[in-house]
Every structure is written in structure tokens, then in C-alpha cells.
Amino acid sequence: MSTKEKISEELLLEEETIKPNEIILFNDDVNTFEHVIETLIDVCDHSPVQAEQCSLIVHYNGKCTVKTGEYKDLEPRCSRLLQAGLSAEIV
């Protein structure tokens, strides 16, 4: 195996082990479906269908990943979800 191939293989292995950060939205007994859907559309750039699906997953499973990416992109989005009264965290 050449040095170039070995380095490429090592980089691919590193990329596979790096897990992107996620915003997890949690269920609550306070917010309406409409509020959650509108907030996901506004904050996470979801389509109306995607936001509705996430709200149903949260309702029935207790939580749902609503956005993945780099921490610096997710942190302000998570803050906006919290300001809107939703329960969310970055993992």
C-alpha cells in the first residue's frame, strides 16, 4: 500500500468516527403542535411537512433530532428554540 493510499484511508476512518452535533427536541405538555411546527420552520429551516413529522415524533417518542451540523451553527438555533419555550439541547 502506498503512503498516499494509507493517509487517505486514515482520513476516511477519522471522518467516519466524527459524529456531527445534533439538536434534540424534547416533548412537553405546554406547547401546541402549531407553535412547535412554526418554530421548527422558522428556526431550523424545516419544510412544513418535515416540521409536522418532527412534532409528531417528539409527541409520541418523547424526543427527536431536529437539526444536525457544526456546533457553531446549532448553538444559536438551540438558543432560539429555548427562547420560544421549547425544550432542546445540543448533543
pLDDT of residue 19: 78
C-alpha cell at 84: 420560544
Q: Which three cell numbers stand for residue 89?
A: 439541547
SS3 32: coil
The one-letter code for the residue type at 78 is C
User: Residue 13: what residue type?
Assistant: L
| pTM assigned to the model | 0.80
21 bridge partner residues: 69
SS (H, E, C) 3-47: HHHHHHHHHHHHHHHCCCEEEEEECCCCCCHHHHHHHHHHHHCCC
- Report d(CA 81, CA 72) in Å as an integer: 15
- Taking the chain (91 residues) in runs of 10, the rounded mean pLDDT of each run is 61 66 97 98 98 98 97 97 98 96
